[in-house]
Amino acid sequence: MSPWQKNKAIQILHLEDSLIDHQIVVRALHKQGLACTIQRVETLAAFTELTGSTQFDLILADYRLPGFTAIDAWHALQQQAQQPPFVLLSGAIGEAAAVDAIRLGFSDYLLKDDINKLAHVIARAIEVREVRQAKERADAELAASERRLAELAEHLQSSIEQERAAIAREVHDDIGGSLAAVKLDLAWLARHHKDAPSAAHLGSALEMLQHALGASQRIMMDLRPPILDQGLTAAVQWLAQSFQKRTGIATSFHATFDPLSTSKAIQLVAYRTAQEALTNISKHAECSAVSIELTDSEGVLTLEVTDNGRGLGKAQLDKPKAFGLRGLHERAKTVGGWLDISNQGGVGTSIILSVPLVPLVPDASTPEPPP
């Protein structure tokens, strides 16, 4: 016995023009032990009025009534806020009409000759509706949760970019400026201390200082390269050249991209995608060649980074801690795009970012990412 049978009487609206048939239904349900209250109507106007003012757990209807059919009642019910299960109980409905009714959305149908099964049919219809409603609520809650997670991911990405920009400015203005000042002082000392021991120490210090300056420059460029101000094409080309110089892997770059067709937010997502893809390649691909293509044909920005390495297997893509690739997926969503990862049969991998482009419309309520 279902919980609703134990806790409450089922509220049934019976659309039936025959009082005798209605009384037969009442007696049958009572005999079958179904706790219910049944209210009868026989006109479409009364049916529409009652379903609009009273909540029922189930509609039970004859198929043919004077001047209308259960199909007309079904369509009228669709205009109401509450749409309980709708069960046909008829003595003369053809199989084709019954099948059409089920396809339309009726919960079930039963011949009056089988009225001894009516309680079971009602119970099943209500339980199916409850399961469907529970699934709809779960789907709605899941969708709301996914929206909240997407909003959180977007907020985190924005915060990360702002922090990157702030740190890059600190590195450039404070650390870089201090190191440059120290270099000038060491150079002055080198000019005024010509003895061999001093010259050796000063030369070593200048060498280490130059290394520190180079490191600060690399850190600053990784955090937020100033070349981004020159546009996405220049920035990705710089990434490709730097990657080839650092790793020795032959890296080609081809672009047919109009920077005026998209926002800085999308360009930043594309840049970070290329940066993360190249980082993954250097760590895992074991390849000898990389190609990067940047296009904006047919209103879609496409960034494709392909290597000829060992490829990414499904197990690697599904690893619990594959946060880099998951982060790329989330980044793409923040600008309405998506990410595809194609494994070329164990001989390479392609990471493809696609973002639909829309004409830029200035919007003061949506600030661009910080420079």
- Report residue 314's pLDDT band, with 50, 70 and 90 as the boundaries: low
pLDDT at 342 over 50: yes
Per-residue model confidence (pLDDT) at position 365: 43
3-state secondary structure 24-90: HHHHHHHHCCCCEEEEEECCHHHHHHHHHHCCCCEEEECCEECCEEHHHHHHHHCCCCCCCCEEEEE
d(CA 241, CA 251) in angstroms, rounded, equals 7
Q: Residues 252, 113: one domain?
A: no
Whether residue 216 lies inside any domain: the answer is no
pLDDT at 178 over 60: yes
Whether residue 184 lies inside any domain: the answer is no
3-state secondary structure 164-201: HHHHHHHHHHHHHHHHHHHHHHHHHHHHHCCCHHHHHH
Cα-Cα end-to-end distance for the chain: 65
Q: Which residue has the higher pLDDT, 14 or 363?
A: 14
Q: What mean pLDDT is predicted for residues 277-290?
A: 90
Q: Residues 109, 231: one domain?
A: no
Per-residue model confidence (pLDDT) at position 169: 74
Q: Which residue has the higher pLDDT, 338 or 358?
A: 338
Q: Residues 132, 231: one domain?
A: no
d(CA 59, CA 107) in angstroms, rounded, equals 10
Per-residue model confidence (pLDDT) at position 294: 94
Whether residue 271 lies inside any domain: the answer is yes
pLDDT at 1 over 50: no
Question: Which CATH number belongs to the domain containing residue 313 in this structure?
Answer: 3.30.565.10
Q: Which residue has the higher pLDDT, 324 or 351?
A: 351
Q: What mean pLDDT is predicted for residues 245-262?
A: 85
Which one of 103, 137, 171 terminates a domain? 137
- Report residue 371's pLDDT band, with 50, 70 and 90 as the boundaries: very low
Residue with tokens 């996914």: 146
pLDDT at 368 over 50: no
Show the domain range for 265. Answer: 227-371
- Report residue 362's pLDDT band, with 50, 70 and 90 as the boundaries: very low
- Report residue 345's pLDDT band, with 50, 70 and 90 as the boundaries: low
Per-residue model confidence (pLDDT) at position 46: 93
Whether residue 71 lies inside any domain: the answer is yes
Whether residue 111 lies inside any domain: the answer is yes
Q: Residues 247, 346: one domain?
A: yes
The single-letter DSSP state of residue 340 is E
Whether residue 159 lies inside any domain: the answer is no
Q: What mean pLDDT is predicted for residues 155-163?
A: 73
Which one of 107, 137, 167 terminates a domain? 137
pLDDT at 245 over 70: yes
Question: Which CATH number belongs to the domain containing residue 67 in this structure?
Answer: 3.40.50.2300
pLDDT at 78 over 70: yes
Q: What mean pLDDT is predicted for residues 201-206?
A: 84
Question: What is the residue-averaged pLDDT of the chain?
Answer: 83
Q: Residues 131, 236: one domain?
A: no
Q: Residues 118, 239: one domain?
A: no
Which one of 109, 137, 165 terminates a domain? 137
Per-residue model confidence (pLDDT) at position 187: 83
Torsion of CA 194, 198, 204, 205, to 10 degrees: -100
- Report residue 120's pLDDT band, with 50, 70 and 90 as the boundaries: very high
Whether residue 300 lies inside any domain: the answer is yes
d(CA 216, CA 335) in angstroms, rounded, equals 31
Whether residue 354 lies inside any domain: the answer is yes
Q: Residues 362, 262: one domain?
A: yes
Number of domains in the chain: 2
- Report residue 93's pLDDT band, with 50, 70 and 90 as the boundaries: confident
Global pTM reads 0.53
